[in-house]
Amino acid sequence: MARHGGTRGWYGKVVGAALGVTVFAVGASMWTAQAGAVGGPSPKATATAAPRSDVRTVAMTIAHASDKGAHGVNITIDDGPDPVWTPQVLDVLREYGVKATFCMVGTQAQAHPDLVKKVVAAGHRLCDHTVSHDTTMDKKSPAYRSQQILDAESMITKASGGVRPMYYRAPGGAFTPDSRKLAASRGMRPLGWNVDTKDFERPGTDAIVATVQRELPNGPTLLFHDAGGDRSQTVEALRRVLPWLKQQGYSFGFPVR
């Protein structure tokens, strides 16, 4: 699982000067956060790390397999929700009867709770993608990592109306043993990917589709994005990839837990 670095530039630009508290100002088309999210001191997590009676601990190993077995594929959508692109992605998924896992950034979920609820209502699953998408979080303190994971869990759960994330995906694959253990103790299976479509780089729809077709033998979990800029290529690629996968005999499932 290679670290996808395309998101680092976008998130690095929108992250502001200092994260003293977990308070965020969200604009109409992109979020901004204060940049202790990137390199400042580690604020104390506002969500409790203690296991709850309604949380079932899951495995802390990084999941890649599909619950549909050898001929299953998992569609995963990162970095949203976004008011322009998430509805379009949802439309394509609905058109082809596909369920996906949405790995949401906490501030994005907080800004667009209506979209989080739409994702849940459509039968998709939620995934914690941290508060501020810091792809270097594996180099930061355990307290900082805990804050990123737990606060995002709280934001996403509140935005959804009480539906908790079932997975945790570290930005850029920046997993650590302690972050995986923490996520698993909260019932969120660490989630990797096998096929990085590189859609974030906007290489063209043909290139995105070709990457899926070429790299699918690597494993069943496919990585797409629904935020961070113009995602029109992603939408069109999904419109082509989903029926192609069906034609190849694949079923659409969720990552194992």
What's the Rg (C-alpha) of the chain? Answer: 17
Q: In total, how many domains does the chain have?
A: 1
Distance separating alpha carbons of residues 122 and 86, to the nearest angstrom: 12
Please tell me which residue in 78, 82, 128, 196 is annotated as part of the active site.
78
Residue 135: alpha-carbon gap to chain centroid: 12
Q: Tell me the per-residue pLDDT of 71-113, one tens digit each, with 9 for 90 and over.
A: 999 999 999 999 999 999 999 999 999 999 999 999 999 999 9
In a domain, 15, yes or no: no
In a domain, 6, yes or no: no
Please say if 133 is a catalytic residue.
no
In a domain, 30, yes or no: no
Nearest to 170 by CA among 195, 204, 145: 145
In a domain, 56, yes or no: no
What lies within 8 Å, CB to CB, of 50 at 6+ separation is none
- The span from the first CA to the last CA of the chain, in angstroms, equals 18
pLDDT of residue 1: 56
Which structural domain, as residue segments, surrounds residue 156? 68-253
Q: Tell me the per-residue pLDDT of 161-178, one tens digit each, with 9 for 90 and over.
A: 999 999 999 999 999 999
User: Mean of the pLDDT values across residues 142-146?
Assistant: 98
Distance separating alpha carbons of residues 89 and 79, to the nearest angstrom: 13
Please say if 230 is a catalytic residue.
no
Please tell me which residue in 4, 112, 124, 225 is annotated as part of the active site.
225
DSSP secondary structure of 187-230: T-EEB--SEE--GGG---HHHHHHHHHHHGGG-SEEEEES-SS-
> Which CATH number belongs to the domain containing residue 102 in this structure?
3.20.20.370
In a domain, 116, yes or no: yes
pLDDT of residue 244: 98
In a domain, 146, yes or no: yes
E-strand ranges in 35-171 read 72-78, 101-104, 125-128, 167-168
* Residues 52 and 201 sit within 8 Å (Cβ to Cβ): no
Q: Tell me the per-residue pLDDT of 84-95, one tens digit each, with 9 for 90 and over.
A: 999 999 999 999
pLDDT of residue 55: 79
In a domain, 193, yes or no: yes
| Tokens linked to 142 | 């355990």
Q: Phi, psi (5° rounding) for residue 122?
A: -80, 0
